[in-house]
Amino acid sequence: MKNNTITSPKGFLAAGIHCGIKESGKKDIGIICCPTGAKAAAVFTTNKIVSASVTVCKKHINSTKIEAVVVNSGNANACTGETGLKNAQIMCKTAAQLIDAKANQVLVASTGIIGHQLLMQKVTAGIILAAAQLSASPKAGSDFANAIMTTDTRCKQAFKTVNIDNVKITIAGTAKGAGMIGPNMATTLSFITTDAAITKALLQKALKEAVGNSLNKLTIDGHQSTNDTVIVLASGLAGNKPITKINLQYKKFAAALAQLTTDLAKQMALDAEGATKMFTVVVKDASTRTEAAKAARAIADYALVKCAIHGNDPNWGRIICAVGSCGVKLNPKKLACSIGNITVFKNGRPVKFDPKKASKIISQKEHTITVNVGAGKFSDFCYGCDLSAEYVKINADYHT
C-alpha cells in the first residue's frame, strides 16, 4: 500500500484515537511525532481573540527543534482564561514526557466549540493512548487526519514529491474544514510534514507564501476562527543538500509546497459546510493587487452570489453589485464579467448569452468567475463555495 499520508515523508510517526471529547465516539486526539526533531514553521490566526493552544503554540514554535504536535478536536480551548492556558501547557508536557522531549518542543492545536474547558482527565488519557500507538504506517497518518475533523464529512489529505538535485523530497499534509473559514494570514488547522532539509527561516518563508496563495485565498463564510493554525515540520532526512538560500532548489520546494496547500484548500472548499460545489473568482485590471484580492473576496463572500451559484443561476447582476459596493477603484465603462468562458457583461453593459450554457458551467463541481474592473493592471483571486440551506441547518442546530 502506497503511503500518501503525513507519515510518508521520512522521519514521521502519527496516531489518532478517541478519548471522549466528542460524544459521537469519533477520533478526537491526534499526535505527529518526529523523533529526530524537525525544523518547524507556522502561521496563525490574526483574530485578536486567540485560543489558549495558539498562545502556547506561538511560544513553542521558536524552539530550534520540534519533536511532536498534539491536537484535539471537539473543543477549541478558546475563551477559557488561565485554566485553558494551563491545560494547553499540560497537553504539551504530557506528550513531551511520553516521547522523551521537552515541553517546548511540542506544538499544540485545538478545534471545536469555544468557551468550554477541556476535560483534562480524558485528554491526558487520550494523549497516553495515542503516544502508545505512534506508527509510520499509512493507517496512522489517516487516523491523525480523521482525529482533527469537526463538521468535515471526509478527511483531507494531500501528497507531493519533488526531485531536488536528484533526491526525492516528499511533502504530505492534512487539513480540517468546514465552517468559520475566512482566513487572513492563516486558516483553519493544517499540518504538513516533509523530509526536506531546509533552514527554519526558509521553511517559514515558503509556508507563508504557500498559505498566502492557497488557504488564505479560501473563504467559506468570511469568518476567521480563534484557532487557525498551519504547521509544517521538516525532518531533513531526505538526504538532499540542505536548502539554505533562495535558489533553484528552494524554488522547487516552495512550488511543491504551494501545490500541496492549494490541493488542501480546494478539498476544504468542496467539503465546506453544506457546500455542493466550489468556484474561483479572478479579478483582473485592478489598481493594485490588494484591491484585486479585496474585490475577489467580496464577490466570493457575497451571500446572494453564493445562493445564485447554489441555484445554478448565472445572476451576474449580483456579481456586479458586489464589486460596486466593496469599495475598490473601478471604471464602470470598462467593467466586464465572464462565467467560465462565457462573457455576460462587457464595457459596463450586459451581453446577450445563452443562459442554459452558463447555467451548465455553474452546475459543475468547479468553475471560474472572472471580473475585469478596468482600473489598472493587477490581478488576484479567491476560492469560494455555494451557500445552501444545509449550511444554515448545520449552524442553527449545532448547540452550545
Catalytic residues: 187
Amino acid letter, residue 62? N
Residues in 77-106 at the binding interface with a second copy, rule: CB under 8 A: 78-81
| Residue 274: how many other CB atoms lie within 10 Å | 21
Q: How far is the CB of 256 from a second copy (least distance, A)?
A: 31
Residue 242 in the binding site for a second copy (CB under 8 A): no
Instruction: Say if CB 230 and CB 40 are below 8 A apart.
Output: no
Which x/- pattern, by CB under 8 A, does the window 21-50 give for a second copy? ------------------------xxxxxx
Contacts of 123 (CB under 8 A, 6+ apart): 19, 21, 29, 72, 87, 90, 91
Hey, is 2 helix, strand or coil? coil
Residue 355 in the binding site for a second copy (CB under 8 A): yes
DSSP at 133:
T
Q: How far is the CB of 187 from a second copy (least distance, A)?
A: 12
All three cell numbers of 18: 478517541
DSSP at 223:
P
Taking the least distance from each CB to a second copy, the nearer of 4 and 359 is: 359
Residue 320 in the binding site for a second copy (CB under 8 A): yes
Q: Which of residues 161, 248, 290, 350 is near a second copy by CB under 8 A?
A: 350
Taking the least distance from each CB to a second copy, the nearer of 72 and 226 is: 226
Taking the least distance from each CB to a second copy, the nearer of 282 and 321 is: 321
Contacts of 359 (CB under 8 A, 6+ apart): 312, 313, 314
Residue 12 in the binding site for a second copy (CB under 8 A): no
DSSP readout, 31-87?
Answer: EEEEEEEEEEEEEE---SS--HHHHHHHHHTTSS-EEEEEEEEEE---S-HHHHHHH
Q: How far is the CB of 297 from a second copy (least distance, A)?
A: 13
To which H or E segment does residue 321 belong? Answer: helix 316-325
- The DSSP bridge partners found for residue 189 are 229
Of 35-43, 93-101, 202-210, 325-333, which segment contacts a second copy by CB under 8 A?
325-333
Residue 330 in the binding site for a second copy (CB under 8 A): yes
Instruction: Write down the residue that cell numbers 484515537 correspond to.
Output: 17
Instruction: Say if CB 123 and CB 19 are below 8 A apart.
Output: yes
Which x/- pattern, by CB under 8 A, does the window 369-388 give for a second copy? ------------------xx
Residues in 159-218 at the binding interface with a second copy, rule: CB under 8 A: 179-180, 182, 184
Q: Which residue, 211, 198, 193, 229, is CA-closest to 72?
A: 229
Residue 313 in the binding site for a second copy (CB under 8 A): yes
Q: Which residue, 345, 338, 346, 194, is CA-closest to 279?
A: 338
Which x/- pattern, by CB under 8 A, does the window 261-300 give for a second copy? ----------------------------------------
Contacts of 61 (CB under 8 A, 6+ apart): 40, 41, 42, 107, 231
Q: Which of residues 185, 255, 304, 342 is near a second copy by CB under 8 A?
A: 304
Taking the least distance from each CB to a second copy, the nearer of 157 and 229 is: 229
Instruction: Say if CB 238 and CB 62 are below 8 A apart.
Output: no
Interacting residues with a second copy (CB under 8 A):
45-50, 76, 78-81, 113-116, 179-180, 182, 184, 221-226, 302-304, 307-308, 310-311, 313-318, 320-325, 330, 332, 335, 345, 348-350, 355, 387-400
